[in-house]
């Protein structure tokens, strides 16, 4: 079973608290890809403290140009450059143009082996991407249906390719275990208000990392005007997407601790967590 490791290097939103740095999530997949989702001020030190070299990152995906998501990028890239290996920066289109002018190696999407990373525009006050990470894990075949097929055909079918055996074309869906899905998906929203234009085309995800700047003590309309979400908004998105895990982050500095967020997460009836800063989550996909 694919195992994902995620380290929360900062769960604060907009304004930090002494013990709650701003956005940055390190993700490592079972294929060995290493990614950073958002790069707040000083994020390279927090990576180093956790034994992760900036030069070991393959991708740094920036959700948008607000300071609490990007101020750590120049230092991180400078360090990686001095170490001799730079990650590819991913950014929303207009920001990508600016970064390219500044000499960054930047793109708006990426594909590497079985991982595809793409921007899903979200609903914030400036151009912003939610980042969709999608892994092609192939099909699990139904033993009975696949019986008698040659090994080469099985290999192709598992990878999602159709085969022709003795004049008969077999599509992978015909012999796959009906409960097996070819893709695994994680979606990280960055900053967003409720955003049907992102959620509806996405249809489903396995893991949703959603911002929840506010708990339930602010007028949701005010939160939405600022391009942010409440816990209830994040829960609604997770329900709509059928996420088997909801992770809440980007917590406003107005909350001294995360108790209120955690109580709401627990009451949601979903598998929902509010990670601590520097907490590792091991996610079975």
Q: Does residue 206 belong to the site contacting Zn ion (CB under 5 A)? A: no
To the nearest whole angstrom, how small is the minimum distance from the Cβ of residue 233 to Zn ion?
15
**d(Cα 173, Cα 161) in Å, to the nearest integer?**
10
Q: Residues 213, 251: contact at Cβ < 8 Å?
A: yes
Which ranges of 42-159 would DSSP assign to H, the alpha helix? 43-49, 67-70, 73-83, 93-101, 143-146, 151-158
Q: Which residues contact 148 (CB under 8 A, 6 or more apart)?
A: none
The residue (of 41 and 68) whose beta carbon lies closer to Zn ion is: 68
The residue (of 73 and 146) whose beta carbon lies closer to Zn ion is: 73
What residue has token string 């949703």? 208
The residue (of 127 and 142) whose beta carbon lies closer to Zn ion is: 127
Determine which helix (DSSP H) or strand (DSSP E) holds 30, and give its type and residue range: none
Q: Which of 59, 74, 72 is nearest to 28 (CA)?
A: 59
Q: How many residues does the chain have?
A: 285
**d(Cα 213, Cα 90) in Å, to the nearest integer?**
24
Q: Residues 122, 185: contact at Cβ < 8 Å?
A: no
The first and second tokens of residue 49, run together, are: 């403290």
Stretch touching Zn ion by CB under 5 A, among 77-85, 86-94, 185-193, 260-268: 185-193
Active-site annotation holds for 38: no
Binding mask 87-126 for Zn ion (x = CB under 5 A): ----------------------------------------
Q: Does residue 66 belong to the site contacting Zn ion (CB under 5 A)? A: yes
**Out of 29, 38, 58, 68, which one is annotated catalytic?**
68
To the nearest whole angstrom, how small is the minimum distance from the Cβ of residue 7 to Zn ion?
19
To the nearest whole angstrom, how small is the minimum distance from the Cβ of residue 282 to Zn ion?
26
Q: Which of 247, 248, 264 is nearest to 212 (CA)?
A: 248
The residue (of 4 and 212) whose beta carbon lies closer to Zn ion is: 212
Q: Does residue 58 belong to the site contacting Zn ion (CB under 5 A)? A: no
Q: Does residue 224 belong to the site contacting Zn ion (CB under 5 A)? A: no
To the nearest whole angstrom, how small is the minimum distance from the Cβ of residue 198 to Zn ion?
15
CA atoms within 13 A on the CB side of 18: 0
User: Among 191, 206, 233, 277, which residue sits at the site for Zn ion (rule: CB under 5 A)?
Assistant: 191
User: Among 29, 41, 58, 68, which residue sits at the site for Zn ion (rule: CB under 5 A)?
Assistant: 68
Count residues contacting Zn ion (CB under 5 A)? 3
Q: Does residue 38 belong to the site contacting Zn ion (CB under 5 A)? A: no
Stretch touching Zn ion by CB under 5 A, among 63-71, 147-155, 193-201, 273-281: 63-71
Q: Which of 37, 30, 28 is nearest to 1 (CA)?
A: 30
Determine which helix (DSSP H) or strand (DSSP E) holds 266, and give its type and residue range: helix 259-267
Stretch touching Zn ion by CB under 5 A, among 42-50, 59-67, 161-169, 256-264: 59-67
Write out the catalytic residue numbers: 68
Task: Give the residues lining the site for Zn ion (CB under 5 A).
Answer: 66, 68, 191
């Amino acid at each position: 079973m694919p195992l994902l490791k995620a380290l929360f290097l900062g769960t604060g939103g907009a304004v930090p608290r002494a013990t709650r740095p701003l956005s940055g999530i390190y993700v490592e997949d079972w294929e060995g890809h290493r990614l950073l989702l958002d790069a707040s001020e000083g994020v390279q030190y927090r990576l180093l403290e956790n034994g992760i070299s900036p030069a070991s990152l393959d991708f740094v995906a920036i959700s948008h140009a607000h300071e609490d998501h990007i101020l750590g990028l120049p230092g991180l890239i400078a360090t990686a450059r001095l170490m001799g290996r730079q990650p590819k920066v991913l950014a929303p289109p207009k920001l990508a143009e600016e970064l390219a002018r500044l000499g960054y190696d930047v793109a708006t999407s990426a594909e590497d082996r079985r991982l595809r990373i793409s921007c899903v525009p979200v609903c914030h006050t400036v151009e912003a991407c939610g980042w969709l990470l999608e892994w092609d894990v192939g099909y699990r075949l139904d033993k009975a249906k696949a019986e008698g097929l040659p090994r080469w055909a099985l290999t192709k079918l598992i990878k999602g390719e159709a085969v022709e055996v003795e004049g008969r074309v077999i599509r992978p869906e015909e012999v796959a275990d009906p409960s097996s899905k070819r893709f695994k998906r994680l979606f990280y929203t960055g900053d967003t208000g409720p955003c049907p234009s992102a959620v509806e085309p996405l249809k489903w995800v396995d893991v949703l990392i959603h911002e929840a700047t506010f708990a339930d003590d602010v007028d949701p309309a005010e939160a939405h005007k600022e391009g942010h979400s409440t816990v209830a908004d994040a829960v609604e998105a997770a329900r709509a997407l059928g996420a088997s895990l909801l992770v809440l982050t980007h917590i406003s500095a107005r909350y001294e601790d995360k108790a209120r967020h955690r109580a709401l997460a627990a009451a949601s009836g979903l598998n929902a967590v509010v990670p601590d800063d520097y907490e590792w989550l091991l996610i079975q996909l």
